[in-house]
Chain A
């Protein structure tokens, strides 16, 4: 059952990442990979809420499988994040590469912590 929920969540999360990335890129022309940044931060926030809720026994395991492991896992990506960083370095956009790493990790961690804080406010 868990396997089905993970697959279903990911089947929605992955194409949503593709569509958000396109929409963000279409909004403004930039070398900085804002699309991936957005999905990674939003996914970290959402998984933070689910993880906090799960720890407080407010979120059932089936919801964590569907929305956490499946949806958030596939909405966010480390391969694209790593790939973009290396490609920016290769194209001599070292400042953007550094910014991608620092801003991506800092915003992702901040979002995850915020999510856990929100969960404890709801279920704590």
Chain B
């Protein structure tokens, strides 16, 4: 199973960087400064958007962390859309995935705030909210990635009227 010769879809398994893809394996050697600068700049922008969301919708000690929930789920939807676009639809510039995927969406979404918020909710005595947040984020995130992938693939395959 692990190294099946014919994958079902052309997208890589790791959206940040997947060394199974020869182009991605060589990108850091070809343009080290440009790739790292793109990831860095994208990461800063994504993190600022996440910070803005948490400032706009703060939550108290035992409350459901809505802002981080919304950030992580929307980021998952967008990574699904992006990976189909850069793999199947466009012949994307080499820096588009590092900037938008690894950088912006990677910096926008966060796993550490998710785990620490679950831990805090448990400590604050809101075990029920902690469990709901834990499972709810996970379920919504996986549905969002699937929807992003599925809808974008469907849109990309739709016959274009009048275009030859």
Contact = CB atoms under 8 A, between A and B. Distances in A.
Whether both chains belong to one complex is answered with yes
Interface of A: 2-3, 6-15, 17-19, 21-22, 25-26, 29-31, 33, 35-36, 40, 43-44, 46-48, 51, 68-70, 72-88, 90-93, 95-96, 101, 104-105, 108-109, 111-113, 115-116
Contacts of B111: 40, 43-44, 76-78, 81, 104, 108
Contacts, number: 226
Contacts of A91: 4, 7-9, 13
10 contacts: A14-B42, A14-B46, A17-B102, A25-B14, A40-B112, A70-B47, A77-B109, A84-B15, A101-B138, A116-B119
A73 B41 CA distance: 14
A42 B14 CA distance: 18
Nearest to B107: A74
B48 interface: yes
A11 to B, nearest CB: 4
Interface of B: 1-4, 7-9, 11-19, 28, 35-36, 39-44, 46-48, 50-51, 54, 72, 75-76, 78-80, 83, 98, 101-103, 105-116, 118-120, 123, 134, 137-138, 141-142, 144-146, 149
Most buried by B among A11, A82, A87: A82
B47 A79 contact: no
Contacts of A17: 16, 39, 102, 106
Given A70-B47, A83-B15, 12 more contacts: A14-B47, A18-B98, A26-B19, A48-B119, A74-B107, A78-B109, A78-B111, A83-B76, A87-B11, A90-B8, A108-B112, A112-B112
